[in-house]
Amino acid sequence: MATQVVAHRMKIGPSRQRLGWRTKSKWRLLFPALLFVGIMTQVPFLITLWYSLLHWNFLDPTRIFFTGLQNYQYIFEDPTFLHAIGNTVILTGGSVVLAILVGIPLALLMDLDIVGKQVLRLLIITPFFVMSSVNAVLWKDLMFDPNFGFVDWLLRAVGLGTIDFMTNDPRRSIIFMTVWQWAPFMMLITLSGLQSLPIESLEAVRVDGANKWQEFVHIVLPHLRKYMEIELFLGIILQIQMFGRIYISTQGGPGDQTTNLAYYAYLQGFTQWNVGEAAAVGILTVIVTTIITTFLFRLIMRFSVE
Partner 1 sequence: MQAQTSKRTYGTIAYVVTILYVFPVLWLIMTSLKSENAAVSLPPQWFFAPSFAHYIQAFFNVNGGGYLHSLGNSVTAAAGGALLGLILGVPAAFALTLFPGKKDGNVLFWLLSTKMMPMAGIIVPLYVIVRNLQLLDNIWVITLIYAGMSVPMVTWMMYSFFKEVPIEIWEAAQLDGLGPMQALMRLGFPLLRTGISSSFLIMLVLNWNEFFVAVNLSYDHAATLPILISGYMSSEGLFWAKMSAAGILSMLPILIVGWLVHKQFVRGMTFGAVKS
**CA angle (278 as vertex; 166, 256 as ends), nearest 5:** 20
Query: Min. distance of Cβ 41 from partner 1 in angstroms?
Result: 4
| 21 vs 303, beta carbon nearer partner 1 | 21
Query: Min. distance of Cβ 266 from partner 1 in angstroms?
Result: 7
Query: Min. distance of Cβ 92 from partner 1 in angstroms?
Result: 11
| 30 vs 299, beta carbon nearer partner 1 | 30
Query: Min. distance of Cβ 271 from partner 1 in angstroms?
Result: 11
Other CB atoms within 10 Å distance of the CB of residue 226: 14
Residues sharing a CB contact under 8 Å with residue 224, sequence separation 6 or more, in sequence order? 104, 190, 193, 194
Query: Min. distance of Cβ 3 from partner 1 in angstroms?
Result: 5
| 219 vs 279, beta carbon nearer partner 1 | 279
| 33 vs 305, beta carbon nearer partner 1 | 33
| 219 vs 283, beta carbon nearer partner 1 | 283
